[in-house]
A and B are shown apart, each in its own frame.
Chain A
Amino acid sequence: MKVEEAANPLAEGLHDYRVADPAVMVIFGATGDLSGRKLLPALYNLAKQRSLPAGFAVVGAAMDDLTEDAFRKHASEKIHAFSRTQPIDDRVLDTFLSSLTYVKVDFGKLEDFKALGQKLQELDSTNHIPGNRIFYCATPPPTYQSIALQLQAAGLNTGSGFHRIVVEKPFGFDLTSARELTQTLQKVFAEDSVFRIDHYLGKETVQNILAFRFANSIFEPMWNTNLIDSVQITVAEDIGIEGRGAYYDKAGAMRDIIQNHGLQLVALTAMEPPLAFDANAVRDEKVKVLRAIRPLIGEDIEQSTVRGQYTKGWVLGVQVQGYREEKNVAPDSQTETYAAMRLFIDNWRWAGVPFYIRAGKRLPKRVTEIRVQFKRPPHLTFGREAMKEVDPNAITLRIQPEEGISLKFGAKVPSAGLRIRSVTMDFQYMTSFLVEAPEAYERLLLDCMIGDPTLFTRADEVEAAWQLIDPIENAWRSGRPPLSMYAAGTWGPDTSAKLLQGDGREWHRP
Chain B
Amino acid sequence: MSATVQGESIPLWHAENVTLSDVLAALSEIRYKFARDETGDDEHLHPRTCVMTLISVSPSEPDEELARRTTLSIGTEHPAQAIVIREKAPIRGRHLDAWITSEVREPEVACGWQCEIITLHVHGHAAEHLAELVDPLLASGVPTYLWWLGTPPFGKKELLDALRVCDGLVVDSARFEEPYTSFRRMAGLLKVAHHRLGLADVQWARLRPWRETIAQFFTPMDRRGFLNGIAEVGVDYVGEGRGNRIAAALLTGWVGAALGWKIKRAAAGTGGVVVAHYEAGNRSVEVDFRPVIREHLAPGEISAVRIGGSSQGTTFRLSVQHDPARMRPVPEPAYRTLHATGGEDDAGLELAERRAEWHRDVLHENLDSLHHTATGDPPGESRPKRPRVFSTERRRPDSARVLLTMIEIGDGEPLRHVQQMDAEDEAALLLDLLSTGTHDEVYNRSLAAASELVEKF
| Residues of chain A whose beta carbon lies under 8 Å from any beta carbon of chain B | 3-6, 8-15, 17, 19-22, 47-48, 50, 53-55, 89, 91-92, 95, 125-128, 130, 401-402, 404, 421, 423-426, 428, 430-436
Contacts and interface: CB of A to CB of B under 8 A. Distances in A.
Contact of B217 (A14, A54, A424, A434): A54
A12 B258 contact: yes
Given A8-B224, A423-B44, A431 B419 contact: no
21 contacts: A3-B225, A3-B227, A8-B224, A10-B214, A10-B215, A10-B259, A12-B442, A14-B211, A15-B435, A17-B215, A19-B215, A91-B398, A91-B402, A95-B418, A95-B420, A128-B409, A401-B109, A430-B110, A431-B107, A431-B113, A434-B74
B218 A89 contact: no
Contact of A3 (B77, B228, B415, B431): B228
Interface in B52-109: 52, 74, 77-79, 107, 109
B220 A433 contact: no
B60 to A, nearest CB: 27
B221 interface: yes
Contacts of A47: 419
B313 interface: no
A136 B79 CA distance: 39
Nearest to A127: B415
Nearest to B108: A401
B209 interface: yes
B412 interface: yes
Nearest to A48: B420
Contacts of A12: 258, 442
Majority DSSP secondary structure for residues of A touching B: loop
Contacts of B330: none
A89 B434 CA distance: 25
A436 B427 CA distance: 14
Given A10-B258, A430-B107, 7 more contacts: A11-B215, A13-B442, A54-B416, A91-B420, A127-B415, A426-B47, A431-B78
A434 B76 CA distance: 11
Interface of B: 44, 46-47, 49, 51-52, 74, 77-79, 107, 109-111, 113, 208-209, 211-222, 224-225, 227-228, 254-255, 258-259, 398, 401-402, 405, 407, 409, 412-413, 415-420, 431, 434-436, 440-443
Contacts, number: 131
A435 B220 contact: no
A89 B420 contact: yes
A434 to B, nearest CB: 4
A426 B111 contact: yes
Given A430-B110, A431-B110, A10 B419 contact: no
A50 B213 contact: yes
Contact of B258 (A9, A17, A404, A434): A9
Given A426-B111, A431-B78, A13 B219 contact: no
A411 B222 CA distance: 61
B215 A14 contact: yes
A14 B419 contact: no
Nearest to A95: B418
B402 A428 contact: no
Majority DSSP secondary structure for residues of B touching A: mixed
A281 B418 CA distance: 38
Contacts of B79: 431
Counting chain B CB atoms within 10 Å of each CB, the highest count among A4, A8, A10, A126 belongs to: A10
A275 to B, nearest CB: 26
B225 A95 contact: no
Nearest to B214: A10
Counting chain A CB atoms within 10 Å of each CB, the highest count among B52, B218, B440 belongs to: B218
A19 B412 CA distance: 22
Contacts of B415: 54-55, 126-128
A319 B306 CA distance: 64
Contacts of A54: 216-217, 405, 407, 415-417
B449 to A, nearest CB: 13
A445 B185 CA distance: 44
Nearest to B226: A3
Contacts of B419: 47, 50, 95
B219 A53 contact: yes
Contacts of B431: 434-435
Given A54-B405, A91-B420, A9 B51 contact: no
Nearest to A55: B415
A428 B49 contact: yes
Contacts of B420: 48, 50, 89, 91-92, 95
A433 B415 CA distance: 38
A13 B255 CA distance: 12
A475 B28 CA distance: 62
B341 to A, nearest CB: 14
A12 B445 CA distance: 12
Contacts of A15: 435-436
Contacts of A11: 215, 219
B52 A434 contact: yes
Contacts of A426: 46-47, 111
B44 A10 contact: no
Contact of B255 (A10, A53, A91): A10
A435 B113 contact: no
Nearest to A18: B219
Contact of B218 (A8, A20, A423, A433): A8
B217 A50 contact: no
A8 B431 CA distance: 25
A216 to B, nearest CB: 15
Contact of B216 (A53, A425, A430): A53
A425 B215 contact: no
Contact of B443 (A6, A13, A91, A401): A13
B412 A434 contact: no
B418 A432 contact: no
A21 B220 CA distance: 5
A397 to B, nearest CB: 15
A130 B435 CA distance: 35
B440 A13 contact: yes
Contacts of B441: 13
Contact of B211 (A10, A421, A428): A10
A19 B208 CA distance: 14
A432 B49 contact: yes
A316 to B, nearest CB: 13
A55 B259 CA distance: 25
B282 to A, nearest CB: 14
